């Protein structure tokens, strides 16, 4: 019941790591990364395309920024994972991390912002921020409670541990109460020495609580983990396990009926990978009570397949999604499948396509 569409495909270039925003007119705007390969960033550029027909057809891609060519791996930066969201004033904001590396050990990335007042036709940026880290979340504008209007972005860091040669992972948040004029942070979301938490996605619940869902990167196939803030992102409790096994790159948000949707890569892990190792792209439906549960058994999820990558060089699962006013959900992800290189796909469906209507109730209560 899930319809599939080509968002952008060019067999000469690797296209990956997309996100999508719904502009006030109903236009969809998709941003993504162009690169040599997931594991080769000698060429990178952030591109975008738009759709006026609910994602059934898309404009040719065009650049958001100038390309970067990484000639010297010791110092040359590259563009990484873009995110995009729509602010309450109708502007679009793209969040992009620019990463540097020393050999195979990543140093701190920097996070830059672009703004559009005409639904993606033109862009103002890049604007520097004090936010550091890689794979940032989209900019979330809070809607509920005393911190309504606050902007919040999270990103993660890795710190080499000389005694073990294992990376220590940290997920941090920054927020602004003056629309980016100044920023507060970093505020620690997660810093668990026995877990490799990264790639956070924050969802604001109707009561004003923030829940940050994270990937666990130890290649043990562990659950997603979450941390919870009740003060607008300054302090966080957790991490707590969420029953979404082998979860990479969760992307969380509220649906119109009060349910919560999390799209994610399924990464079974193991020491011997075939291809790039990722074949399955899933969605998980849950509810507010489960998001706030501090015990794994207190949380409910209903996990469903969105796509499968048949390629022997499979690579998929970084995604973004929006819900249209009539309830249709539109997801973007990337996949190799029948193409020589990764490309961007779109997926359209409704909750009733993945859960029969008689099983649905407000907030997806089981």
Report the domain count for the chain: 1
For residue 19, the enclosing domain spans: 3-364
Report pLDDT for 279.
94
pLDDT (mean) for 339-353: 97
Taking a C-beta distance cutoff of 8 angstroms, is the pair 310, 278 a contact? Answer: no
Q: Sort strands 92-99 and 110-116 into parallel, antiparallel or unpaired.
A: antiparallel
The pLDDT assigned to 258 comes to 96
Query: How confident is the model over 236-246, as pLDDT tens digits?
Result: 999 999 999 99
Q: Which of these, 54, 24, 7, lies nearest to 329 by C-alpha position?
A: 54
How many Cβ atoms from other residues are within 10 Å of residue 88's Cβ?
A: 9
Tell me what pLDDT residue 6 has: 98
The CATH number of residue 139's host domain is 2.120.10.10
| Mean pLDDT computed over 20-29 | 98
Q: Report whether 190 contacts 210 (CB < 8 A).
A: no
pTM over 0.75: yes
Token pair in block for residue 117: 């007042």
- Mean pLDDT, residues 169-192: 97
């Amino acid at each position: 019941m899930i319809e599939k569409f080509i968002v952008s495909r060019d067999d000469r270039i690797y296209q990956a790591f997309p996100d999508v925003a719904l502009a006030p007119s109903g236009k969809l705007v998709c941003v993504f990364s162009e690169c040599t390969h997931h594991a080769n960033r000698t060429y990178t550029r952030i591109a975008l395309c738009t759709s006026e027909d609910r994602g059934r057809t898309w404009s040719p891609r065009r650049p958001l920024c100038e390309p970067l060519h990484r000639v010297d791996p010791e110092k040359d930066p590259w563009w990484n994972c873009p995110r995009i969201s729509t602010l309450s004033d109708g502007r679009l904001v793209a969040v992009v991390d620019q990463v540097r590396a020393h050999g195979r050990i990543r140093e701190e990335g920097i996070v830059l912002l672009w703004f559009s007042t005409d639904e993606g036709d033109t862009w103002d940026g890049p604007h520097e921020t004090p936010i550091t880290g890689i794979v940032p979340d989209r900019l979330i504008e809070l809607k509920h409670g005393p911190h309504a209007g606050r902007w919040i972005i999270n990103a993660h860091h890795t710190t080499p541990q000389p005694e073990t040669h294992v990376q220590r992972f940290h997920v941090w948040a920054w927020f602004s109460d003056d629309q980016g004029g100044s920023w507060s942070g970093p505020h620690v979301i997660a810093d668990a020495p026995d877990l490799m938490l990264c790639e956070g996605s924050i969802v604001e619940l109707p009561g004003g609580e923030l829940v940050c869902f994270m990937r666990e990167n130890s290649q043990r196939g562990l659950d997603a983990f979450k941390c919870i803030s009740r003060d607008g992102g300054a302090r966080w409790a957790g991490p707590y396990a969420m029953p979404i096994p082998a979860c990479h790159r969760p992307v969380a948000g509220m649906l119109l009926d009060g349910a919560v949707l999390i799209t994610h890569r399924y990464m079974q892990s193991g020491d011997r990978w075939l291809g790039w190792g990722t074949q399955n792209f899933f969605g998980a439906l849950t509810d507010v009570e489960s998001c706030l549960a501090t015990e794994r058994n207190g949380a409910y999820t209903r996990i469903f397949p969105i796509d499968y990558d048949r390629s022997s060089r499979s690579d998929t699962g970084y995604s973004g999604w929006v819900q249209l006013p009539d309830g249709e959900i539109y997801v973007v992800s990337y996949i190799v499948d029948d193409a020589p290189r990764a490309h961007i796909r779109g997926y359209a469906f409704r909750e009733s396509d993945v859960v029969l209507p008689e099983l649905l109730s407000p907030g997806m209560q089981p």
